[in-house]
Amino acid sequence: MTFERYFKLSSYFTIGAGFVAIAATGSLNWIPVFSFATALIVSCFIDTARLRERIPVWFLNCLSIAYLVFFAVDAILLSRSFYVAAIHLIFFAAILKLLTLSKNRDYFLLYLISFTELLVAATLTVNLIFGICFLIFLFSGIQTFILFEMRRSNTRIQNKINIRPFVAPRDLRWADMELFSPFPVRLLSATSIGITLLILVVALPLFIFLPRVATGFYRQPSGKTQLVSGFSESVELGRIGSIQQSDAVVMRVRTSLPPSRTPADLKWRGIAFDHYDGRTWKRSNPVPYPVPIQEGYFKLEDTAYGPELMRQSFFLEALSTNVVFAAHKALAVSRETGFLARDSEENLFVRPHIQRKLSYEVISDTSSPNPVLVSDTAAIPANVAETCLQLPPLDIRIGNLAKQVTASAESKYEKAKALEHYLRSHYSYTLELTGAPGSRDPLAMFLFDTREGHCEYFASAMAIMLRYIGIPSRLVNGFHAGDYNRIGDNWIVRQYHAHSWVETYLPPYGWIEFDPTPAQRLYHQTAFVRFFADLADAFDLWWWERIVNYSASSQYKAVVSLHSLSDSIINSVGKMVLHAYDESGKGLSWIVSPRAVSTPWSVLYWGIPLIFIMAMILVRPLRRRILNRIRPILYRNRPCLYAGSFYSEALEILSEHGMVRAPAQTPMEFALSLGNHPVGIPLITLTRLYNVIRFGPPDAAPRSKKAEDLLQSLRMSLSD
The one-letter code for the residue type at 416 is: A
Question: Residue range 376-385: average pLDDT?
Answer: 90
Q: Residue 540 above 80 pLDDT? A: no
Statement: residue 507 has pLDDT above 80: yes
Give yes or no for residue 466 having a pLDDT over 50: yes
**Strand 452-453 relative to strand 428-429: parallel, antiparallel, unpaired?**
parallel
Beta strands in 210-353 (DSSP E): 235-236, 241-242, 249-255, 267-273, 275-276, 280-282, 289-290, 293-294, 297-299, 309-316, 330-334, 341-342, 348-349
For 297, how many CA atoms within 13 A lie in the half-sphere containing its CB? 15
Give 90 or 355, the one with higher predicted confidence.
90
The residue that leads in pLDDT, 512 or 694, is 512
The stretches of 293-353 forming alpha helices (DSSP H) are none
Nearest-angstrom CA–CA distance, 585 and 664: 53
- pLDDT for position 615: 58
Whether the predicted pLDDT of 400 surpasses 90: yes
Q: In sequence order, what DSSP letters do the residues of 133-193 get, joined into one string? A: HHHHHHHHHHHHHHHHHHHHHHHHHHHHS----SS--TTS--TT--S-SS--HHHHHHHHH
3-state secondary structure (DSSP) of residue 500: strand
Lowest-pLDDT choice from 99-103, 274-278, 539-543: 539-543
pLDDT digits (tens, 9 = 90+) for 576-628: 777 776 766 665 555 555 444 445 555 555 566 666 666 555 555 555 566 66
User: Is the per-residue pLDDT at 238 higher than 60?
Assistant: yes
| Residue 586, preceding peptide bond in cis (omega within 30° of 0) | no
Distance of CA 79 to the CA centre of its chain: 32
Q: Which helix (H) or strand (E) holds 473?
A: strand 473-480
pLDDT at 596: 46
pLDDT surpasses 90 at 458: yes
List of residues 6+ apart from 624 with CB closer than 8 A: 649
Enclosing H/E stretch for 2? none
Is the per-residue pLDDT at 46 higher than 60?
yes
**pLDDT at res. 19:** 86
pLDDT tops 70 at residue 488: yes
327 — pLDDT class (breaks 50, 70, 90): very high
pLDDT score recorded for residue 49: 83
Lowest mean pLDDT among 118-132, 312-326, 542-556: 542-556
DSSP-assigned states of every residue in 13-52: HHHHHHHHHHHTTS-S-HHHHHHHHHHHHHHHHS-HHHHH
Instruction: Give the other-Cβ count within 10 Å of 337's Cβ.
Output: 23
Burial of 555 (C-beta count, 10 Å sphere; 0-12/13-18/19+): middle
Question: What band does 179 get if pLDDT is binned at 50, 70 and 90?
Answer: very low
Region 645-668: what's the mean pLDDT? 83
Q: What is the rounded radius of gyration, in angstroms, for the C-alpha atoms of the chain?
A: 39
Residue 636 makes CB contacts below 8 A (sequence gap 6+) with: 702
Q: Helix (H) and strand (E) counts for the chain?
A: 22, 22
- Pairwise CA distance, residues 144 & 5, whole Å: 12
pLDDT grade for 311, boundaries at 50, 70 and 90: very high
Which tens digits make up the pLDDT trace of 110-161?
888 888 888 877 766 666 777 788 888 888 888 888 888 888 777 777 666 5
Has residue 363 got a pLDDT over 60? Answer: yes
**pLDDT (mean) for 653-671:** 84
What is the model's pLDDT at position 517? Answer: 93
pLDDT value at 514 more than 70 = yes
Mean pLDDT of 330-347: 90
- The rounded distance, in Å, linking the Cα atoms of 165 and 674 is 49
